[in-house]
Structure 1
Amino acid sequence: MSADQESIYTLISATPSPYARKVRIVLQEKDIPFTLQTEVPWNSDTETPKYNPLEKLPVLINNKSGSAVYESHFILEWLEAKHPNAPMLPKDIDQALFAKQIEVVADGNVQPATLHDLVLALTDHCSGICDALVLALWEGRRDEDKRSKPWADRQTRKVEGGLRQLSEWVEQGKGEYIIGDSLTLADVAVCSLLGFMLVRFPDHKWQSDYPKLKQYQAALDERPTFANTRPKPQVFRDAVV
């Protein structure tokens, strides 16, 4: 976004959030002017509930109408529909479905219903890992006598299985990106997930266990839209669990 462009949107974001980072990257890839508002949604003074009844980030606000769009998967769908230039989904149907599958693994909660949903299932592999990581993070913040080891172990299995699958897909790729030679939401989701792990789970051994995945992430993270959205830790002032 150039300095003289007027912001169309305001994005309320948490700096370490992989979900918010996906939206930040896509907004920049599409050259959509926006203002970034950073919050900690767990703190009592957050403005998040004013715009999202589910009290979750990210939230994208239209600066002209004041209307808000929330939940990262829906925001990305919404942006693709409203701003189709610099498309983030492959035109080929099979590739589009594959991209969606990847997002499902990376993040975790999208149920494919349309072609766009299915491209946003590659990105969902990232959703699955992200969701499990966040759940594990909160579990670790509980008092030790209230933690559930079987439940925590299940999240760990989900993370490991998802990373193994993402690594296989990266190794099988035949182009510059995970699906061919064009950046897609699949790349955005995978890199956002791995960046989150570097910040919140720095001792995880994914970089040594999956060297191809590390190489892929490091190369992609030098792209300007990725480099200037790298996650930063936040401090939770109020109790979460």
Structure 2
Amino acid sequence: MKLIGSLSSPYVRKVRVVMAEKKLDYQFVQANPWAPDTAVSASNPLGKVPCLVMEGGEAVFDSRVIVEYLDTLSPVGKLIPSSGRERAEVKTWEALADGVLDAGVLARLEAGGFDGRSEAERSQVWIDRQFGKMHGGLKAMAQGLGEKPFCSGVHFSLSDVAVGCALGWLEFRFPQIGWRTEYPNLARLADKLALRTSFADSKPG
């Protein structure tokens, strides 16, 4: 398998962490989807990363679909429950973490982080709206985690992979958001996850 992605993308990191936790072999191909000469669209018509290219050349995307597929390839380190409320809970945690990331990416885009727009062409109202989503997501994460050792209870799961990648990216791209001080339980979780080889080897920056 070949994983196409950027080292700074939290969605790519989620897949890389799952690959490491599942002990799956793959080739990592770095690609910047924002570069004018990017070849990402040759595998993913949406021009987004991550993109998993199978041995036969078929492509799988986006990150949620990829990690769902990867979890079926090996019984090692099962990350997603097979059915029922437990499965729905894990997938909801993933949706929450990805939603925080989506808002962060939109805020960076509007601020001109990629397209070089002038100050007059940016909407502070839109940026503030995305920050509101990030703060709301962080509050929900902290409330959902409570004093549990992991997001979905006593076992490490995709919930923690998704939340850990979201928190790591916020620390990387938005250090001004003081989630560690406001939500010490999230900080404890992030620090615990950082000790895992899968997270340490994929840290952005």
> Are positions 1:226 and 2:199 aligned together?
yes
Q: How far 1:127 sits from its partner (Å)?
A: 1.1
Partner of 1:133: 104
Q: How far 1:203 sits from its partner (Å)?
A: 1.9
Does the aligned pair in 1 maintain the 2:44–2:61 contact within 8 Å? yes
Q: For 2:158, which of 181, 185, 189 is the aligned residue?
A: 185
Partner of 1:13: 5
Q: SS in structure 1 opposite 2:81?
A: coil
Q: How far 1:75 sits from its partner (Å)?
A: 0.8
Partner of 2:171: 198
1:44-123 to 2 correspondences below 5 Å: 44-62=36-54, 64-90=55-81, 93-102=84-93, 123=94
- Structure 1 unpaired stretches of 5+: 1-8, 103-122, 233-241
Does the aligned pair in 1 maintain the 2:68–2:80 contact within 8 Å? no
Partner of 1:164: 139
Deviations along 1:14-51, one digit per CA (max 9) or x if unpaired, are 11111101100111111110111112110022110110
Corresponding letter in the other structure for 2:77: A
Deviations along 1:151-202, one digit per CA (max 9) or x if unpaired, are 11211111110000001112142xx322222211100000000111111112
Deviations along 1:192-219, one digit per CA (max 9) or x if unpaired, are 0011111111222111111111111011
Does the aligned pair in 1 maintain the 2:43–2:51 contact within 8 Å? yes
Does the aligned pair in 1 maintain the 2:193–2:199 contact within 8 Å? yes
- Structure 2 unpaired stretches of 5+: none
Provide the aligned length of Structure 1 versus Structure 2: 201
Q: State the TM-score, normalizing by the size of structure 2.
A: 0.92
Partner of 1:216: 189
Structure 2 Cα separation of the partners of residues 66 and 94 of structure 1: 35
Partner of 2:120: 145
Corresponding letter in the other structure for 1:163: L
CA RMSD in angstroms comes to: 1.5
Does the aligned pair in 1 maintain the 2:23–2:76 contact within 8 Å? no
